[in-house]
Amino acid sequence: MKKSVRSAPNLKTLAPETLAVRAGTRRSSDYQEHSEAMFLTSSFCFNSAEEAEHGFANADQGFIYSRFTNPTVSMFQDRLAALEGGEACIATSSGMAAILTTAMAHLQAGDHVVCSKSVFGATTQLFSSILNRFGITTSYVAIADLKAWQAAVQSNTKLLYLETPSNPLTEIADITGIAKIAKKAKALLVVDNCFCTPALQKPLELGADVVIHSATKYLDGQGRVVGGAIVGSRDFVIGKVFPFVRTAGPTLSAFNAWVFLKGLETLFVRMEAHAKNALALATWLEAQPRVSRVFYPGLKSHPQHALALKQQSSGGGIVTFEVKPKAGQTAQKAAWELIDATKLISITANLGDAKSTITHPATTTHSRVTAEARAAAGITDGLVRIAVGLENVEDLKADLALLSK
């Protein structure tokens, strides 16, 4: 029987929820497997020396060596690019590898970066302690102050970097406003979309040039593997990022890519549930006597609530709050007392998991940042961050009962 060829769906006509399940899928001609295959191989074979020559000369168009091309990784890249509305995506070994790769692909000695003060601690370390060794300087600004962003731009500014909502205070950046500043300066605007994912926010549609992901978080969704991704125009991703990844090798493994593919299939369902639980918990936290302040974009009390609703479809899954110390108690001791009193919520710095997690940013995620920099970013010793999971929210409230006393 002659083998028939089935037409592929037009991805441009499909809803985001469908893209999360279907985009990027490739089936091998021999087996026509339904679930995406895991290509655990270091290299790929050619039928002739001439074919090998052509393959190496056009490495971005086929599969040669899994340091830079692999079918499973390509499926993940294509699916995430479709979800973010980008032309291309390159996956990396971690979220930090994605940031480093973007910087190395775009910057050179003598260039200047403007970065939000409100970023992950390791991101600050990367810009201030590593890239500065190679003649790349960084200025830090308040995330919500457009005038500060504009004032920080120099003649050699080549990149503006932010994450929104920020980690851990869930501050919101005006992506469209900052994009205008970046374009005027002819600089690249890079947005970390880790907290929202494309299920809740699409930075490229708001004017960003590049989107960064720590896929380790919500894209996986169950805390299993580590990875990152860079999404943007084909000219940037394939023209600049791919050559760096091919040479330097900050590579995502095929196994991890397969896990992320499976995670993306449930992304929209999970993010809706995370946000619903987070809003309920944040509302409850505001009423507790041992809580002095709650930071959650979905609350009307959040200073940028209106902007969050404009850019995001919900408040997301991260809730941060300050614990009120008892008489004679330091802020850090009060925060640690709460964390140590929990029995259900996992004490770990990771986030985006089905299991709720709790951490003390000042002594974990931002512990390598100077005390002065933490203070400037608003990260106090009494601050606690919860990545709200998929448990029943009443059980989470019960686990935080110390706040009611």
Q: What does DSSP say about strands 188-192 and 157-163: parallel, antiparallel, or unpaired?
A: parallel
* Percent with pLDDT over 70 in the chain: 100
Nearest Cα to 81, choosing from 221, 173, 178, 210? 210
pLDDT of residue 123: 95
User: Where, residue-wise, is CATH 3.90.1150.10 in the chain?
Assistant: 268-404
User: Where, residue-wise, is CATH 3.40.640.10 in the chain?
Assistant: 13-265
Give the Cα-Cα-Cα angle 217, 290, 373 (nearest 5 degrees).
55
Reduced to 3 states (helix: H, G, I; strand: E, B; else coil), residue 180 is helix
pLDDT of residue 199: 98
pLDDT of residue 288: 98
pLDDT of residue 134: 97
Nearest Cα to 206, choosing from 235, 244, 180? 180
**Which range (117-126, 169-178, 295-304) has the least confidence?**
117-126
pLDDT of residue 121: 87
Nearest Cα to 215, choosing from 202, 205, 225? 225
* CATH fold for domain 13-265: Aspartate Aminotransferase; domain 2 (3.40.640)
Paired tokens of 170 = 């869930």
Question: Which residue type sits at 29?
Answer: S
Q: What does DSSP say about strands 357-359 and 346-347: parallel, antiparallel, or unpaired?
A: parallel
pLDDT, one tens digit per residue, over 250-296 is 999 999 999 999 999 999 999 999 999 999 999 999 999 999 999 99
Q: Above 90 in pLDDT, residue 377? A: no
Paired tokens of 281 = 């918990």
User: Which of the following CATH numbers is that of domain 268-404: 3.40.30.10, 3.60.20.10, 3.90.1150.10, 3.40.50.1000?
Assistant: 3.90.1150.10
pLDDT, one tens digit per residue, over 106-144 is 999 999 999 999 999 899 999 999 999 999 999 999 999
Mean pLDDT of 9-25: 93
Paired tokens of 305 = 């609530």
pLDDT, one tens digit per residue, over 63-110 is 999 999 999 999 999 999 999 999 999 999 999 999 999 999 999 999
> What mean pLDDT value characterizes the chain?
96
Please tell me the pTM assigned to this model: 0.94
pLDDT, one tens digit per residue, over 181-197 is 999 999 999 999 999 99
Neighbours of 65 (CB within 10 A): 17
Mean pLDDT of 302-311: 97
Paired tokens of 339 = 């964390």
**pLDDT interval class at 395 (50, 70, 90):** very high
Reduced to 3 states (helix: H, G, I; strand: E, B; else coil), residue 73 is helix
Which of the 8 DSSP states describes residue 128?
A: I
Alpha carbon of 225 to those of 39, 218, 257, 267: distances in Å?
17, 11, 9, 16
pLDDT of residue 294: 98
Q: What does DSSP say about strands 291-295 and 88-92: parallel, antiparallel, or unpaired?
A: unpaired
